Amino acid sequence: MRVLVHAYPWDVIGDPLFTARVQALGVDGVNLAAAYHAVRAATPWHPERAYLDARHSALYRPVRPEAWAGRRLVPAAPGWMDEPDSFGAAAAALTAAGVPVTAWVVLTHNSLLGEANPDVTVVNCYGQSYPWALCPSRAEVREYAATLAAEAVREAPPAGVLLEACGQLGADHGGRHDKTDGAYDARARRMLSVCCCAACRTGWAGRGVDADRVVRDLRAAVRSREHDLDPATLATLLAVRHEAADELRNRVCDTLPGLPVALHGSPDPWATGANPGFGANAGKDVDAVVVPCWPTGPESPEIVKLARRMLPADVAVGSYVTVLPPARPDDVAAHVRRLVEAGAGEIHLYHAGLAGPARHGLLAEAARAATSV
């Protein structure tokens, strides 16, 4: 059983007590963000501020011109950080204190690059680009992701790498003040998450599917529950998506030789977002797959059981657990025990920086619960 807790570089830098608090939790290490999307984050432990506004996606390592020469997709530096290598500095501080660090790398979720380069983003059946979502069917996106992962760990070799958004994003997990909840049911959101960009359409055509007809059928399915795509076409759409995700993951993992790699994913093959659905090959080149288990009801243990059945025996199943609302304090420890009983071999706790004084103790409770089963 391994228990790891998530954190951002700004949680560590400038807070002299952060490392001691993590050590007191009894966890096995920290998943530290090395490349992350835009976020407005609370900093309830920081002595000098209450929030940090990370205005766009950024690489929290030096953005070296020689690594990105001739590229159109280049990560931005975090102008809100004074330290030019904030991941490196935070990782060094934790490692020096005996706390292992896993590099937490977000790959295809990048609104800054998507807005500047809409031709490499996911496109829905109405021809609308999702600027937050870079499409893995694009070779340029796969190359960007591979270089991003390699640069995230360069000369700061962590204990491992955790890949988030290693696949396609969709209609959810967008940004700004979202006013979309409840407007479309789960079925419609699935149809709106099918990427219809030129590269994906080419993939469909290569498998004998009429791309124009698919787009028409997707639109009809969004508007009417009476309309659906035939099973063979749905299987083709999913196969093209998973093939692109496999190519993305393989390319990224090739840049991380010798490092243990964990993958955020979902056993729902149609899932998109931070935890994209994994196909038959998802466990073949990683050491662990971390599945979303924030709900404390019976659905989370069932996800763990399903993932355990789908993945190779030597691939660990990790459970991603939050101690923040809507999690109820009285439920967290029992929830973690149920996940371990369901087959989880790792618990990934969210979040050492965001959980303030009222919630921080729940991280320790969860860690104890994970090792008590």
- Average pLDDT, integer, range 285-302: 96
- Helix, strand, coil proportions of the chain in percent (round to 5)? 35, 20, 45
Q: Taking 60 as the threshold, does the pLDDT of residue 177 lie above it?
A: no
Question: CA-to-CA distance for 365 and 362, rounded, in angstroms?
Answer: 5
Is 128 in contact with 219 (CB distance < 8 Å)? Answer: no
Q: Taking 80 as the threshold, does the pLDDT of residue 175 lie above it?
A: no
Q: Given this model, what pLDDT does residue 178 score?
A: 61
Assign residue 280 the CATH number of its domain.
Answer: 3.20.20.80
Q: Taking 70 as the threshold, does the pLDDT of residue 188 lie above it?
A: yes
Is 288 in contact with 345 (CB distance < 8 Å)? Answer: yes
Q: Given this model, what pLDDT does residue 252 score?
A: 97
b/e per residue 70-92 (b: at least 16 CB within 10 A): eeebbbebbeebeeebbbbbbbe
Average pLDDT, the chain: 95
- Average pLDDT, integer, range 69-81: 97
- Average pLDDT, integer, range 44-66: 95
Question: CA-to-CA distance for 279 and 241, rounded, in angstroms?
Answer: 9
- Please state the φ and ψ torsions of residue 319, each to the nearest 5 degrees: -110, 130
DSSP-based three-state secondary structure for 78 = coil
- Average pLDDT, integer, range 142-171: 96
- Average pLDDT, integer, range 184-193: 92
DSSP label at residue 128: -
b/e per residue 343-353 (b: at least 16 CB within 10 A): bbbbbbbbbbb
Q: Given this model, what pLDDT does residue 5 score?
A: 98
Pairing label, strands 2-7, 58-59: unpaired
Q: Which residue has better confidence, 156 or 165?
A: 165
DSSP-based three-state secondary structure for 52 = strand
In which band, very low, low, confident or very high, does the pLDDT at 227 lie, cut at 50, 70 and 90? confident
DSSP 222-272: HH-TT----HHHHHHHHHHHHHHHHHHHHHHHHTSTTS-EEEE-BSSTT--
Q: What angle do CA 222, 226, 232 make, to 5 degrees?
A: 80
Residues 7-19: tens digit of each pLDDT: 999 999 989 999 9
Is 3 in contact with 27 (CB distance < 8 Å)? Answer: yes
Point out which residues pair with 35 in neighbouring strands.
59, 105
Count of domains observed in the chain: 1
Q: Given this model, what pLDDT does residue 373 score?
A: 84
Contacts 24+ apart (CB under 8 A), 305-308: 305/342, 305/343, 306/267, 307/265, 307/267, 307/343, 308/342, 308/343
- Average pLDDT, integer, range 221-235: 91
Within 10 Å of residue 357's Cβ, how many Cβ atoms? 8
Q: Taking 60 as the threshold, does the pLDDT of residue 281 lie above it?
A: yes
What radius of gyration, in Å, describes the C-alpha atoms of the chain? 20
Question: CA-to-CA distance for 340 and 120, rounded, in angstroms?
Answer: 39
132: containing domain: 2-370
Q: Taking 70 as the threshold, does the pLDDT of residue 174 lie above it?
A: no
Block residue for tokens 């529950």? 225
In which band, very low, low, confident or very high, does the pLDDT at 284 lie, cut at 50, 70 and 90? confident
Q: Which residue has better confidence, 281 or 209?
A: 209
Span between the terminal Cα atoms of the chain, in Å: 10
Residues 82-116: tens digit of each pLDDT: 999 999 999 999 999 999 999 999 999 999 999 99
Secondary element (H or E) of residue 7: strand 2-7
pTM for the complete prediction? 0.95
The two tokens of residue 66 are 């020689």
